[in-house]
């Protein structure tokens, strides 16, 4: 738990606008990145963040919500929203026609397209994992959470996080190996 988190949470339960704004400012960027990595759409990620905070406000208004581990609570809400949204509307494939050269990235349109396709491939593979495996990988490797923080977010012991991480990595490795063996990949039968 961040040092300010307990203070923010107590103030938020009193509907202190400053505390609510600080919570939003502190957590909305990382929740956006989390949702975007899984959904591949800025609009969908923004919707998830907005709904996450809406549900948080409704929960505390009704006397519920987290008593501690605010960040973990917000990740759980966002995760459930991402899962629901993905089940209703899987991410569309990357539209290569609309890839624009981003001057800030110094990439050519071809390199941007290649990166977009690689990101889409990773996203598809992540969705083939179990919910818990996918969430652990995103929280640990993309969001930078520790085992303890990831455990709080998914509501499991730290040992379970380690086991889920191990199984997820092995599953991804198997998916990649199967893909290399497909005809037409240029990888089969080379010595």
| Contacts of residue 154, Cβ cutoff 8 Å, sequence gap at least 6 | 76, 79, 132, 135, 136, 139, 161
66 dihedral zone (left: phi>0; alpha: psi -120 to 50; beta) = beta
Q: Coil, strand or helix: which one is 165?
A: helix
pLDDT tens for each residue of 111-169: 777 776 777 788 888 888 998 998 899 889 888 888 988 998 888 999 999 999 999 99
pTM over 0.75: no
Look at residue 164 in the predicted model and tell me its pLDDT: 94
Q: Coil, strand or helix: which one is 94?
A: coil
pLDDT tens for each residue of 94-115: 444 444 544 455 667 677 777 7
**What's the angle, vertex CA 88, arms to CA 171 and CA 36, rounded to 5?**
60
Q: Measure CA 144 to chain center.
A: 11
Q: What is the DSSP letter of 1?
A: -
Residue-range domains of the chain with CATH: 1-92 (1.10.1740), 107-191 (1.10.10.10)
Average pLDDT over residues 14-22: 93
pLDDT at 57 over 60: yes
Say how far apart CA 31 and CA 11 lie, in whole Å: 21
pLDDT tens for each residue of 75-93: 999 999 999 998 887 655 5
Look at residue 109 in the predicted model and tell me its pLDDT: 67
Say how far apart CA 94 and CA 121 lie, in whole Å: 10
pLDDT at 66 over 50: yes
């Amino acid at each position: 738990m961040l040092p300010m988190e307990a203070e923010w949470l107590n103030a938020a339960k009193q509907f202190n606008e400053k505390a609510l704004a600080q919570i939003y400012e502190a957590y909305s960027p990382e929740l956006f990145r989390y949702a975007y990595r899984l959904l591949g759409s800025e609009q969908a990620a923004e919707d998830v963040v907005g709904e996450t905070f809406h549900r948080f406000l409704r929960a505390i208004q009704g006397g519920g919500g987290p008593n501690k581990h605010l960040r973990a609570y917000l990740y759980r809400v966002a995760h459930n929203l991402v899962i629901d949204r993905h089940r209703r509307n899987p991410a569309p494939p990357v539209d290569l026609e609309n890839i624009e050269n981003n001057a800030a990235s110094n990439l050519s349109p071809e390199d941007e397209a290649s990166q977009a396709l690689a990101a889409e491939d990773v996203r598809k593979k992540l969705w083939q994992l179990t919910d818990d495996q996918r969430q652990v990988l995103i929280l640990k490797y993309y969001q930078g959470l520790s085992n303890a923080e990831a455990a709080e977010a998914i509501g499991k012991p730290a040992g379970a996080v380690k086991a889920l991480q191990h199984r997820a990595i092995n599953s991804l490795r198997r998916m990649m190996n199967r893909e290399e063996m497909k005809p037409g990949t240029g990888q089969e039968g080379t010595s």
